[in-house]
Amino acid sequence: MRTIREEGVQALTLRAAGKRLGVSRTALYRHFTDKSALLAGVAREGFQRFRQDLLAEWRDAGGGLDGLARMGVAYVRFALSNPSHYRVMFGGFSDLAAKDPELEADADAAFAVLVDALESLQASGDIIQHDREQLAQYIWATVHGIAMLAIDGQLGPDPAVAEALVPFATERLRLGIVARDA
Amino acid sequence: MRTIREEGVQALTLRAAGKRLGVSRTALYRHFTDKSALLAGVAREGFQRFRQDLLAEWRDAGGGLDGLARMGVAYVRFALSNPSHYRVMFGGFSDLAAKDPELEADADAAFAVLVDALESLQASGDIIQHDREQLAQYIWATVHGIAMLAIDGQLGPDPAVAEALVPFATERLRLGIVARDA
DNA sequence: ACCTGAACACCGTTCAAGT
DNA sequence: ACCTGAACACCGTTCAAGT
């Protein structure tokens, strides 16, 4: 985890990991079937922490449309604070999920935080009564897109650009899903 | 290009490329300074084709909010039709851009198609008079997010899920940016 | 100018062998 | 059960040498 955070995924080799742990490169095969199983473990840990972060934000805000907006901010913050970890979680997800079936469950659990929030917002009549799954996918895609563009350097070298984009996006997003009868 | 399309980026090795071209692995160093310079070339070609696709869609639709929605559909279609190519274009963009400065120009040119479309929509009073750059980043992030989630297998194995998400997203998006005085 | 073959410093993975 | 060292089949890259 430390190697990934400090030097990126491509720097995580079994040899280097073994050396850091003071153990032979091949010793890791006792604990993981291969390298992608190890990476799947890293991804799982990421989704679990992710879930906690989002849940905490929703609770602290006391739910509501404000809670949803704060979850969006927390989402992008998580990605920008842990870019390499985030890349392991999302890049080549299906390959890793094939190695470790529980990865998909952890990803689903993080996604469920968003779906549950939307259910609450629908119950209170704050947002449109539309298929929750698709609504969640749409919101997820938006914050994921911002996170990815920022991480990959497509928003330029200035992190302020990404930071300014998030509140704008959450406000536009709100206008697109808010209940229209008020 | 063929190797990337048929077998993915990770299958593109200089050795395999040399063999396919009937030439030594090291011969490629006469034409590219190293492997990432070659990948930067692949990414540049992608952005150029991307730009053409988006431009054609905008023109065929005769502009307007409908043209914008069709650009969104074309965007995701491009990504899903060329997943490996798309990954080269966006994954690790800054590393590749450092190797080939013209890559950034090609990416900007593709992005400019969106910015120009927004300018036209602002001139006609169809959408809000907001900073075009940020507006474009927001829209780009949304379609990019859908494309990435779909490519990475996070939307499940059924491509119909991603296809259904696009029109829903473009409609929500429209509601968030449409001029409000009508 | 363009290409080659050998060499170098890396990988992940396997496997017989040790404690 | 857990680890080791040697070996195998790969990488990208460099470099002296050829035409």
- Token pair of B5, please? 């399309």
- Token pair of A76, please? 């992008």
Q: What is the pLDDT of residue B69?
A: 97
- Kindly report the pTM of this predicted structure: 0.95
CA of B3 to C1' of D13 (A): 21
Contact B99, B36 (CB under 8 A): yes
Provide the greatest CA pair distance for chain B.
65
How deeply is B156 buried, as exposed, middle or buried, from its count of CB atoms within 10 A (0-12, 13-18, 19+)? middle
CA distance A115 to A136: 6
How many Cβ atoms from other residues are within 10 Å of residue A5's Cβ?
A: 12
Strand D bases within 7 angstroms of protein beta carbons: 1-6, 10-15
For the stretch A68-94, pLDDT in tens is 999 999 999 999 999 999 999 998 899
Whether pLDDT at B83 is above 60? yes
Place of tokens 């990865």: A103
The answer to whether B134 contacts A90, with C-beta atoms less than 8 Å apart, is no
B140 in contact with A at a CB cutoff of 8 Å?
yes
Contact A146, A76 (CB under 8 A): yes
B156 in contact with A at a CB cutoff of 8 Å?
no
The answer to whether A142 contacts B144, with C-beta atoms less than 8 Å apart, is no
Of A122-131, B23-32, B161-170, which range is least confident?
Answer: B23-32
Q: How far is CA A119 from CA A58, A127, A141, B145, in A?
A: 13, 9, 18, 22
The answer to whether A152 contacts B176, with C-beta atoms less than 8 Å apart, is no
Summarize the confidence of residues B146-151 as an average pLDDT.
97
How many Cβ atoms from other residues are within 10 Å of residue A10's Cβ?
A: 9
For the stretch B32-81, pLDDT in tens is 999 999 999 999 999 999 999 999 999 999 999 999 999 999 999 999 99
- Candidates A84, A131, A103, A13; CA nearest to B168 is A131
Summarize the confidence of residues A85-104 as an average pLDDT.
92
- Token pair of A34, please? 């291969």
